[in-house]
Amino acid sequence: MKFPLKIAFCIRPDYLLRAGGDTIQLLKTKEYLEKYYDIKGDIITDPDKIDCIYDVCHIFNIATTKVTYNFIKVCQEKKVPKAISTILWDFSDVMTCDKLVKMNIYNLSRFNVNVAKAIFKITAKIINKPYIMSKAYRHYLTIVLNDVDHILPNSLEELYCLANVAQMDYGYLAGKSTIVCNGIIPTREVTISNVDLENKYAYLPPKYVLEVARIEPGKNQLNLLRALEKDNNLPILLIGSQEVFPKYYNKIAQIAQRRGNVYFIEQVAHNHLAYFYQNALVHVLPSYAETTGLVSIEALVNGCRAVVSNKKHCPYETYFKNLASYVDPFNINSIRNAIFSEINTKRNMSEIRMIINKSFTWEIAARKTYYAYIKIIEQQGLK
């Protein structure tokens, strides 16, 4: 085995323009691998740039179907071993909510979404246009999961989700997988100027309900505002891009104006987020699908209480059990009750911070990823 190992970190072309969990995971994985191990990595967004000089191609995000499939295809042609951080959940609720909002339908109840989901599936078959949970999509997942040499899901729940969505044998997938939990940036690495931030955001009231996420249907700011619509003594701060889903943002803005005491801030520098977490009463992410929910983990490590979605919508058991309250994101009463319950629950936030700093770090993620690479390369040598 020759060192340094040459790794191609493969991701969608717009990974910086539309930064998401896969963006953070790639950048931090690369950073910590190169920091602690004899590895040299290149970020590749064009499959044609893959060459046999690479020891492993590490692909991020199985949900980007066309991009991911092209990476797999080229890797096979070049005979380059393949690992994939799948970053998958059942996104059918998110996609259905997106479609409904585009149709100016904002009553995103569980019943309405289930009915719409059934209709969209039937329509997709009639017009032969693939839908997220279609037979064609399951076939795509099967091809990718069979073809890659190693799978790197973010949680045990994600591995179960992969087997369920792809309708594949769990034991088979587990046999070629390494669970690599996402990490957070430890508090000691966050550098901010509190004085500058305090001056810039002096207009914000203290102890607000915070959500850090792009303003889009899947992140469910709509039900958060509806849940607290009558509790307008409680400030709400929404931090995130308003440009991704303008129709949805306009609806949110209308409700916010009617309610009052709601504040919006566009994306801020990542190392400034600690300031907002530390000044929040609670961080709430009632998302319809999170493969991890990194912002919720970051909130906790900064001493901010958290409310997340239940295990149907995020890997609650792996990341948040006994650390945060959970909600049914479709149920407004569930969201409201969980927020006030979490606010009134006794928690040792210093202990929670220590648990997260010990359990969910990019050092641990890098170590597990590195040894997965070694395993892949050694297996290739035995073939």
Give 91-141 pLDDT, tens digit per residue.
Answer: 889 999 999 999 999 999 999 999 998 888 777 666 555 555 677 888 999
Cα within 13 Å of Cα(63), Cβ side: 21
Transcribe 32-45 into DSSP letters: HHHHHSSEEEEEE-
Question: How far is 272 from 193, CA to CA, in rounded Å?
Answer: 8
Same fold, 5-88+132-183+361-382 and 187-359: yes
Q: Which helix (H) or strand (E) holds 58?
A: strand 56-60
Write down the pLDDT at residue 188. Answer: 47
SS3 letters for 108-163? CCHHHHHHHHHHHHHHHHHHCCCCCCCHHHHHHHHHHHHHCCEECCCCHHHHHHHH
**In which residue ranges of the chain is pLDDT below 70?**
124-133, 186-193, 382-383
Type of residue numbered 359 = S
- Helix, strand counts (H, E) of the chain: 16, 11
Write down the pLDDT at residue 2. Answer: 83
Domain covering 5-88+132-183+361-382, topology = Rossmann fold (3.40.50)
Cβ neighbours of residue 254 closer than 8 Å, sequence gap 6 or more: none
Identify the architecture of domain 187-359 in CATH. Answer: 3-Layer(aba) Sandwich (3.40)
Q: Give domain limits for the chain.
A: 5-88+132-183+361-382, 92-131, 187-359
